[in-house]
Amino acid sequence: MAEFDTISKHLIQKYPNDFASFTLGREDVEVLAVIDTEQYTVEAHQTDSLIRVRIDDEEVLVHNEFQTTDSTNPPMPRRMAGYIGHAIRQHGLPIYSNVIYLRPNAGRRDPGYYIQEHLGYPIAIHYRVIRLIEIEGQHVLESEQSGLIPFTPLMKPPEGMALDAWLQQCIHTARTRRIARTYRADYLAGMVALSELVYESEVISDIIFKEGIMDLIRESSLFQSLTQESREEAREQGLEEGREEGLEQGVRQRAIEDILEVLEIRFDLSEAHPLSARIAAINDLQRLKQLHRAAIQVPNLEAFQRVLDA
């Protein structure tokens, strides 16, 4: 989900008013600051977004947590209770918390609260569940909430409109919106990446080709950031695979050495013997374990060779 976290945070940084108004369901919101959640301590998992706003002459926090799938370990209510408690401790302000589910099938079982009723110590923490598939996408396309437009392909399409047609309409609206080219590039990069949660890659590629937007997407700072993250993840994955391969190679080498040592002790097998070369060429660890047991049990070298030939 790191890719989608990056997109969401990027858009909130640019359009905090839109996200605060959307989640609060009101327009009279004054954004005071977008809080840098990177500075949170290691005592709690970093939240996706905290916006400090003023409504009705009161300062409050708007907390948005983005989810692609249902959280089960721990369940979302427990996670949200932790986030909310940590934010209250850090900032001492009232907090309006929301979970925004991106995939159409996610969030159906999220109750929107954490409740404890135990030994006379009741705890109740409530938050709002927002499933994008339940939001009328056309309304957002036509609204002034520009920051939400990249999410519209994940929202409910107009009645009777096919998903492919809806995606094309969303991309076309983003491409033709009267905003600076750099903002439009970020719009499209975010929208295309988010669309991968719902649409087939071939469908997305076909619409990108029809709209002629690939060069514009490549200009996007968001696209470049996502590309860099992908490269870093691939490099880390490569290093991890290299470590695993090195570990397996070490286990294999030790197994070969154990077999040759047993055969040397029992049957005076030399390094120059053809059997030594055959054993050293075996890659299958399970096979090497079987041969090690055989080397210990067989009565002579000829019997071991028969096991090796089997």
Instruction: Please provide the size of the chain in residues.
Output: 310
pLDDT reported for residue 39: 45
**55 and 117, same domain (yes or no):** yes
The phi and psi torsions of 121 (rounded to 5 degrees) equal: -120, 75
CA distance 310 to 307: 5
Residue 290, domain extent: 244-309
Same domain? For 130 and 26 the reply is: yes
The pLDDT assigned to 158 comes to 95
In a domain, 256, yes or no: yes
d(CA 16, CA 13) in angstroms, rounded, equals 6
- Do residues 208 and 297 both lie within one domain? no
Among 93, 119, 134, which residue terminates a domain?
Answer: 134
Q: Which of 118, 134, 150 is the last residue of a domain?
A: 134
Q: What is the pLDDT of residue 38?
A: 56
Question: What per-residue confidence (pLDDT) applies to 293?
Answer: 84
Structurally, how many domains does the chain consist of?
3
Residues 183 and 82 in one domain: no
pLDDT of 243 reads: 46
Per-10-residue mean pLDDT of the chain, 310 residues long, equals 77 91 92 75 59 95 93 90 92 95 94 90 95 95 88 95 94 87 86 90 85 85 73 56 55 79 82 78 81 85 82
Laid out side by side, the sheet with 49-55 consists of: 30-35, 49-55, 58-67, 95-101, 128-131
